[in-house]
Amino acid sequence: MTVDQVWQKWYQNRDPRDKQWLVDYYYKVAVRYIMQAAAIFKDILTDVDQLISNAGYEVLIAVGQYDPTKKKKFTSYLFKRMQWAVWNMMRDKDNLSEYERRLVKQYRRAKAGWKSTTQTEPTDEEICAKLGVPVQQMQQIRAKDLLKDVPLNALPDYKIDDIMAQVAVKCHIPTPSEIIERRDMVQKILSYLDERNRQIFILRFLYGLTTKEISKIIGTISAGGIESMLKRQRVKIRAFFVKDDPSLAISGKIKNG
């Protein structure tokens, strides 16, 4: 029996045996995804066994919640869930002091309590006023909590190539022929950008998140604001490389996305 046939039976009869068959089948797919992520981010993902043990639960939930009417492949839906699981583990590798970590937890609790009580989304100013913490200080702490530096040396060649291919198209700049030059180019971009823009660049071009997903992670910038920052970021990146090589100053539009 093929996977498609089992899916069809599951939709028609909701037989638990068909669901278990699908869970067993896609659990292997999820584990392969985790092992690939572990190989790419070996310096960051230190508890792969925990991810693998959680994979069964993620697959079980994904099979139960998957909606085929949305015209999205199940593997794409599952990989998005696994991507968030990997991302959350990467974030959990703490780079905050005990005081900063306590503030982050207080912020999250205060925000959840506010939303539960008022049914509205609070602003940073409202939460910080409630906690008695300066807004700028809290934003800096939360930025540190988002993501540490990405170890470029741990990224395989194909990930560097993927980043550079996107940057070359979006910023209308050529891609170096040698992989060592492409790595150097990505490093220059990350060094050139400030901390907030560097985080957005990594989330967009390395992890492939949408502006809406990035907005949810950043927490203080709307999806439209993220898009505007990405547009300005592309202009700056192109100007940075044109400054080093004036021959790049040819006609070419900065592309959206």
pLDDT in tens, 31-48: 888 887 776 666 556 677
> pLDDT tens, 9-27?
888 888 989 999 999 999 9
- Residue 251: predicted pLDDT: 38
Other C-beta atoms closer than 10 Å to the C-beta of 167 total 22
> pLDDT tens, 97-127?
778 878 888 888 898 899 888 888 888 889 8
d(CA 49, CA 66): 26
Contacts of 71 (CB under 8 A, 6+ apart): none
Label residue 110 exposed, middle or buried (CB < 10 Å: 0-12, 13-18, 19+): middle
Picking from 211, 191, 97, 187, the residue whose alpha carbon sits closest to that of residue 144 is: 97
d(CA 85, CA 30): 11
Picking from 153, 243, 248, 152, the residue whose alpha carbon sits closest to that of residue 205 is: 152
- Residue 25: predicted pLDDT: 92
d(CA 36, CA 42): 10
- Residue 144: predicted pLDDT: 60
d(CA 215, CA 225): 8
Radius of gyration over every alpha carbon of the chain, rounded to an integer in angstroms:
21
**By percentage, how much of the chain surpasses pLDDT 70?**
80
Look up the pTM and report it: 0.43
Other C-beta atoms closer than 10 Å to the C-beta of 33 total 19
If you average pLDDT over residues 218-229, what whole number do you get?
84
Picking from 2, 30, 6, 4, the residue whose alpha carbon sits closest to that of residue 20 is: 6
Other C-beta atoms closer than 10 Å to the C-beta of 223 total 15
Of 79-88, 158-167, 181-190, the range with the lowest mean pLDDT is 79-88
Q: DSSP code of 173?
A: -
pLDDT at 94 over 70: no
